[in-house]
Structure 1
Amino acid sequence: MTTRRDLLKFSALAAAASALPSFAFAQGAKPVGKAAKPLNILILGGTGFTGPFQVNYALARGHKITLFNRGKRPSPEWPGEVEQLHGDRNTGDLKSLEGRKWDVCIDNPTSLPFWVRDAGKVLKGNVGHYLFISTISVYADGSKPGISEGDALAVYKGKDAMAETQEALRADIENLYGPLKALSEAEAHKQFGERVTIVRPGYIVGPRDETDRFTYWPHRVAQGGEMLVPGDGSDPVQIIDGRDLGEWMIRLAEAGTVGTFNAVGPKDPLTMDAMLRGCQQAVGGKPTYTHVTPEFLEEQKVGELPIWTSAKSGPYAGYGAVSNKKAIAAGLTYRPFDTTVTDLMAWFRSLPAERQAKLRAGITREQEADLLKKWHAAKR
């Protein structure tokens, strides 16, 4: 079942996405109008999963874009001029940002408070609005549906949050990820004052998603045959298309919107069964769905069924029903579910055959067959 550890593992995979093939699948077909006022936008990161969606949308809206990253991965071919600055936040190398001014800074990759502190040292007074990508994992209690932005945050219990490193984070993901993200949010307010926007996504999906956490489901549906489905089908599921998230970030910047928002979707509640039916409508396939209980999955030590969490119990039972009312009121919109699935699978099928053959999330067909056999045997 999904845990905070899974969220970080999948987020790390997403952040590792480089200049992926067939980027055209990620562009979207609707024409984009120009913004009322062009902005000078600095994006920290920008070449991972959602960053390119921000860049492309911002360029289409008429904004000027500067990217700051290590330059370790090739950038996509942008449809306009993009300035590229290099440095390394792990070592505090932000020299290329010194003496520059921007209207907006969007901070995509940060999970360590000292990254925000160091950015503040260079950018404070030189940036009018700071937008920080956080996570729903910052909440102290993920067990109750309806988590809202004002709920208590996870507490850091280590010795020195500013001394934490990526290596330490990877070694103790379960205990450090949420608390360090929460402290990064606090540091953002400390460094940039009231002109701060905190965006807390859950599962980000769609084209360019290298994690396969959502891809597993439409991919499996398309294969057909008897399919193992966790729970009774009524458990809530929340996902957001990376394009919807990235484009909304730019609109928040344009509007100068500040505050904290849960960036989860869709707009209306989505159950596990409804998600699978939507996948089937988008990709075809003739699966037969066999629901198994959470207790059976726990007994079989199955921990690789992404996206789904049981709404009945557990520390993450509320992760599928986080409140998004505030974000919707602030202009977050969602493209149709079948568009997300269709575009995702078109992109995924453009990848090399060997990449498609081994998904990075979910269970194998062999594991599934074995579980189904044991389930049917237990029901006799």
Structure 2
Amino acid sequence: MDSAFVIGGTRFIGRHLVEDLLEHEYDVTIFNRGNHDNPFADDNRVDAIEGDRTNDSALEAAAETVDPDAVFDCVAYYPRDVRVGTNVFADADAYVYISSGDAYGREEIPKREDETPMRPCTNEQATDESDDTYGNRKSEGDRVVVEAAERGVNAMSVRPCIVYGPYDYTERLDFWIDRVLEYDRLVVPGDGTNIWHRAYVEDVASALRIVAERGTPGEFYNVGDRRLVTLDEMITLIADAAGESVEVVHAGPRELEAGGLSSEDYILYREYPHLLSTAKLAALGWESTPLEEAMARTVDEHRESDRDGSDHDPGREREERVLGILDTL
């Protein structure tokens, strides 16, 4: 494969995907609405086409102009998006859809592509815009991929878990990085051993490319860090990368409630473990970045950004009340 068409390509996963493709000598074209700054505007290796992927005619015109070998759909949030994409690019050597670990419909440890059932998706859920139906819509997109493969389209799906790394506009990990940089004591709900599988964004980017090059049509591939860490261990990784020393203070439901908080107020906390098997992807030759390297790059970029994760802040004053309660026990 020599040419790639990235639907999206300027913000987070798409941005890293473009960088990965360039490193592997692809000719890259990005397609988006132009609502965000294009980090590749001055890079003559990247062509840009402005258009709305929900406009079928615009997508068809772009396909005729570019005729890419590989298509990467980074912004397909509805099953209809995937259906249109697999139709427009039916002749591509590869069409890779970014799904989600949230597409799984049953809690298992770990969740496996060919064993764990997917979420159902009603007609109403397929067009719903709320976060509550995100996993349902992604699972239906996966079913569309299977249907497309059955009619001869080289369509595949990659299912990331929680993605982190440089340029993460969701600011989920930025909250915890900011806490480590700003405070000596951190409140952590529970006992700190909860696990919510995360995926370093550069590894997600390489997974997308490798699946396009080596994957099997109609198949799904989980992607996540090969080495999993607990919430406490994640904080330690952040502190080590930042050169900081912090005390982690665990708070149970009673202490949190006394401070006006609950465990649900903390981003990246999940009571039941969420783990994805990555063996299927690794069998294609994919490898993940060592966690220390991934976190160091993430923290370095965070320091240069203006992100602080404040949208996820449960309230430091309330945390101080919790700390005060715990200090008296």
Alignment check: 8 A CA contact 1:44 1:69 kept: yes
Q: What's the counterpart of residue 159 of structure 2?
A: 200
Please give the secondary structure, in 2, of the residue aligned with 1:306. Answer: coil
CA deviations 1:302-352 (Å, max 9, x no partner) are 423111212xxxxxx132x22222222223322222222222222222224
CA distance in 2, matches of 1:98, 1:273: 47
Alignment check: 8 A CA contact 2:255 2:325 kept: no
CA deviations 1:15-39 (Å, max 9, x no partner) are xxxxxxxxxxxxxxxxxxxxxxx52
C-alpha deviation, 1:132, in angstroms: 0.8
| TM-score using structure 2 length | 0.88
Change (3 A) 1:338 1:156: same
Alignment check: 8 A CA contact 1:199 1:260 kept: yes
CA RMSD between the two structures: 2.4
CA distance in 1, matches of 2:12, 2:38: 11
| Pick aligned residue for 2:316 from 358, 365, 371 | 365
Change (3 A) 1:55 1:160: closer
CA deviations 1:163-184 (Å, max 9, x no partner) are x1xxx313xx21x211111111
Please give the secondary structure, in 1, of the residue aligned with 2:171. Answer: coil
C-alpha deviation, 1:202, in angstroms: 1.0
CA deviations 1:34-74 (Å, max 9, x no partner) are xxxx5211111111201111112211211111112112222
Are 1:261 and 2:210 matched, yes or no?
A: no
Alignment check: 8 A CA contact 1:224 1:286 kept: no
Unaligned runs of 5+ in 1: 1-37, 311-316
Please give the secondary structure, in 1, of the residue aligned with 2:206. Answer: helix
C-alpha deviation, 1:213, in angstroms: 0.9
Change (3 A) 1:160 1:206: closer
Q: What's the counterpart of residue 122 of structure 2?
A: 157
Q: RCO higher in 1 or 2 (8 Å CA, sep ≥ 6)?
A: 1
Alignment-mate amino acid for residue 49 of structure 1: F
Q: What's the counterpart of residue 27 of structure 1?
A: none
C-alpha deviation, 1:290, in angstroms: 1.1
C-alpha deviation, 1:367, in angstroms: 2.8
CA distance in 1, matches of 2:246, 2:123: 48
Alignment check: 8 A CA contact 2:7 2:53 kept: no
Q: Greater shift after overlay, 41-50 or 70-79?
A: 70-79
Change (3 A) 1:239 1:294: farther
Q: Which runs of 4+ in 1 moved over 6 A?
A: none
Please give the secondary structure, in 2, of the residue aligned with 1:215. Answer: helix
Alignment-mate amino acid for residue 94 of structure 2: H
Alignment check: 8 A CA contact 1:206 1:340 kept: yes
Q: What's the counterpart of residue 169 of structure 1?
A: 129
Alignment-mate amino acid for residue 366 of structure 1: E
Are 1:238 and 2:212 matched, yes or no?
A: no
Are 1:308 and 2:269 matched, yes or no?
A: yes
| Pick aligned residue for 2:83 from 117, 120, 123 | 117
User: Where do residues 216-235 of structure 1 align in structure 2 (5 Å cutoff)?
Assistant: 216-235=175-194
| Pick aligned residue for 2:137 from 180, 202, 210 | 180
Unaligned runs of 5+ in 2: none
Are 1:86 and 2:50 matched, yes or no?
A: yes
C-alpha deviation, 1:288, in angstroms: 1.5
Are 1:342 and 2:303 matched, yes or no?
A: no
Q: What's the counterpart of residue 9 of structure 1?
A: none
CA distance in 2, matches of 1:344, 1:269: 17
C-alpha deviation, 1:298, in angstroms: 6.7
Alignment check: 8 A CA contact 2:73 2:98 kept: yes
CA distance in 1, matches of 2:256, 2:190: 9
Change (3 A) 1:42 1:202: same
Q: Greater shift after overlay, 271-280 or 203-212?
A: 271-280
C-alpha deviation, 1:134, in angstroms: 0.4
CA distance in 2, matches of 1:158, 1:366: 44
CA distance in 2, matches of 1:298, 1:154: 32
* Count of matched residue positions in the alignment of Structure 1 and Structure 2: 320
CA distance in 2, matches of 1:117, 1:295: 48
Identity value in percent: 23
